[in-house]
């Protein structure tokens, strides 16, 4: 088939034509087993328990990232035709940037202690189907994709920026897509104006024309809001804690007490020795099946955690950001004592989670404005962007809902003036 169209809810028709440069390679990559596996990996992990529409997959997102990378590349190619030889690398890296995600995406990384960038590189370089597609396009492409995805190395800075930077095609797509699927309205980007604002600086690197400044400011504010309202939602925090605790407990109990098939055995008890086949054999379906089996047949403590997650009987989270670390530990001890009094195991129901959000990193590949005559750092031109560079920390005390009222009464007595009003 020389042409194909993927009908995307955001970008409408994503058309591929094997007669256009690089697109036959993309069509072949999409049909490989490792890429098709991404249909079985949720984009937002357990966020579907908070936002019922959050059911989109890494497959859909990855196609969207490729689509935006192609748009940006065509825009920049008009400014610098010598970018053309880098097209295959950009297309492949944009499409495959998430191919190394485990079950439940980022939550799976925390559960199992893996890094998707490393696995994406391994798959690109070593999986026979993927490696063949890449090197058939241009010998050495598989190795170049692996170096870009794992180490950020690219033969041209524009390729690196479009794949991984503070204004990359990954972020542009996931903000739009995650806003759409969760039903929130924060992720409405002016994508056309952002694309029109892309330009090249005299050193050949990516820059923003001043006409695109407000659209980029809006994008950075949107990203901040999406993290605060969706990605770091308190129920997501609880779900992530539950799943991490669940896997940790399964590992502690060991194969003598916890049933697992051959693939999950390697994930749980031999993660350092995972091969490509074992890694790719795990996805949301296999992990979900194990949660079901453990709920039905597992040791009581493990079954309890699985039941909480699968039946959405979630723990509560109270904001303790304004407390000192010592006070937070004291609050955790209070929660544990109250849980024990109710006959609830505190090791399975009480914990602390800390997060830090920085909306913009001026020293981590910071963005630059270029009007054809003068170069300026984005944060120097925009007080709004400068304000987003200040990190904001959040801390949550996780605890059973049965002790919520008594816990908060106790905390109000002990630290009432220090607690936030948003609990």
pLDDT in tens, 73-125: 999 999 999 999 999 999 999 999 999 999 999 999 999 999 999 999 999 99
Distance CA(333)–CA(328), nearest Å, equals 9
Say if residue 352's pLDDT is above 80: yes
Cβ atoms of residues 90 and 163 within 8 Å? yes
Residue 129 CB coordination number (10 Å): 15
Distance CA(102)–CA(106), nearest Å, equals 8
**End-to-end distance of the chain based on CA atoms, in angstroms?**
56
DSSP state of 127: -
| Pair type for strands 392-399 and 316-319 | antiparallel
DSSP state of 157: H
Q: What does the pLDDT read at residue 419?
A: 64
User: Long-range contacts of range 372-380, CB-CB < 8 Å, 24 or more positions apart?
Assistant: 375/201, 375/202, 375/207, 378/208, 378/213, 378/216
In the predicted model, what is the mean pLDDT of residues 215-238? 95
Distance CA(155)–CA(149), nearest Å, equals 13
Domains of the chain plus CATH, in order, are: 3-196+209-230 (1.10.3210.10), 233-314 (1.20.1250.30), 315-367+391-423 (3.30.70)
Q: Residue 421: which residues within 8 A CB-CB, separation 6 or more?
A: none
Chain segment 153-194, per-residue pLDDT in tens = 999 999 999 999 999 999 999 999 999 999 998 878 999 999
Distance CA(67)–CA(90), nearest Å, equals 11
Per-residue confidence band for 365, with pLDDT thresholds at 50, 70 and 90: confident
Q: What does the pLDDT read at residue 421?
A: 44
Cβ atoms of residues 315 and 400 within 8 Å? yes
DSSP letters spanning 129-156: HHHHHHHHHSTTHHHHHHHHHHH---SS
Q: Residue 282: which residues within 8 A CB-CB, separation 6 or more?
A: 102, 103, 263, 264, 267
Tokens of 409: 């009464």
Q: Residue 64: which residues within 8 A CB-CB, separation 6 or more?
A: 8, 10, 11, 14, 173, 176, 177
Q: What does the pLDDT read at residue 418?
A: 64
Distance CA(320)–CA(8), nearest Å, equals 41
Give the 3-state DSSP-derived string for 353-408, with helices as H, strands as E and coil as C: EEEEECCCCCCCCCCEEECCCCEEEHHHHCHHHHHHCCCEEEEEEEECHHHHHHHH
> What percentage of residues in the chain have a pLDDT greater than 90?
92
- 321, with CB counted inside 10 A (0-12, 13-18, 19+), is middle
In the predicted model, what is the mean pLDDT of residues 207-217? 97
| Pair type for strands 351-357 and 198-200 | unpaired
Residue in this structure with the two tokens 């399975």, named with its chain if needed: 348
Nearest to 49 by CA among 189, 292, 188, 234: 234
Q: What is the pTM of this model?
A: 0.95
Q: What ranges in 262-371 are assigned the alpha helix state H?
A: 262-269, 276-280, 284-297, 300-310, 325-341
- 19, with CB counted inside 10 A (0-12, 13-18, 19+), is exposed
Q: What does the pLDDT read at residue 186?
A: 82
| Pair type for strands 12-17 and 3-8 | antiparallel
Q: Work out the mean pLDDT of the chain and round it to a whole number.
A: 95
Distance CA(371)–CA(375), nearest Å, equals 7
Residue in this structure with the two tokens 């005559």, named with its chain if needed: 373
Chain segment 407-418, per-residue pLDDT in tens = 999 999 999 866
In the predicted model, what is the mean pLDDT of residues 304-325? 97
């Amino acid at each position: 088939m020389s042409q194909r169209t993927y009908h995307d809810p955001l970008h409408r028709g994503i058309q591929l034509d094997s007669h256009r440069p690089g697109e036959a390679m993309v069509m072949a990559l999409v049909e490989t087993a490792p890429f098709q596996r991404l249909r079985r990996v949720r984009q937002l992990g357990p966020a579907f328990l908070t936002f019922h529409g959050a059911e989109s997959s890494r497959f859909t997102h990855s196609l969207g990232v490729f689509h935006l990378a192609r748009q940006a590349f065509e825009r920049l190619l008009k400014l610098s035709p010598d970018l053309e030889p880098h097209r295959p690398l950009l297309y492949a890296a944009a499409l495959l940037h998430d191919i190394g995600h485990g079950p439940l995406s980022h939550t799976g990384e925390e559960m199992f202690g893996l890094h998707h960038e490393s696995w994406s590189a391994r798959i690109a370089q070593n999986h026979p189907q993927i490696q063949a597609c890449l090197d058939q396009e241009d010998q050495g492409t598989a190795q170049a994709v692996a170096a870009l995805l794992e180490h950020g190395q690219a033969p041209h800075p524009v390729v690196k920026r479009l794949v991984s930077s503070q204004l990359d095609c990954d972020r542009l797509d996931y903000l739009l897509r995650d806003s759409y699927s969760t039903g929130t309205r924060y992720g409405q980007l002016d994508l056309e104006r952002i694309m029109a604002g892309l330009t090249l600086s005299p050193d050949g690197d990516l820059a923003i024309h001043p006409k695109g400044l407000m659209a980029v400011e809006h994008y950075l504010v949107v990203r901040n809001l999406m993290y605060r309202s969706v990605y770091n939602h308190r129920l997501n925090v609880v779900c992530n804690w539950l799943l991490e605790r669940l896997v940790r407990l399964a590992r502690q109990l060991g194969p003598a007490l916890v049933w697992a098939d051959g693939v999950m055995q390697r994930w749980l008890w031999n993660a350092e020795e995972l091969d490509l086949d074992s890694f790719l054999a795990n996805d949301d379906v296999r992990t979900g099946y194990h949660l079901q089996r453990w709920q039905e047949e597992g040791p009581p403590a493990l079954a309890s955690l699985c039941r909480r997650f699968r039946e959405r009987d979630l723990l509560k989270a109270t904001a303790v950001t304004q407390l000192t670390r010592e006070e937070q530990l004291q609050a955790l001890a209070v929660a544990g004592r109250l849980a024990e009094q109710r006959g609830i195991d505190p090791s399975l129901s009480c914990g602390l989670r800390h997060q830090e959000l920085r909306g913009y990193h001026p020293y981590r590949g910071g963005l630059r404005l270029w009007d054809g005559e003068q170069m300026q750092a984005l944060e120097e031109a925009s007080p709004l962007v400068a304000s987003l560079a200040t990190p904001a920390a959040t801390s949550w005390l996780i605890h059973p809902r049965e002790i919520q009222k008594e816990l908060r009464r106790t905390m109000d007595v002990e630290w009432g003036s220090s607690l936030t009003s948003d609990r």
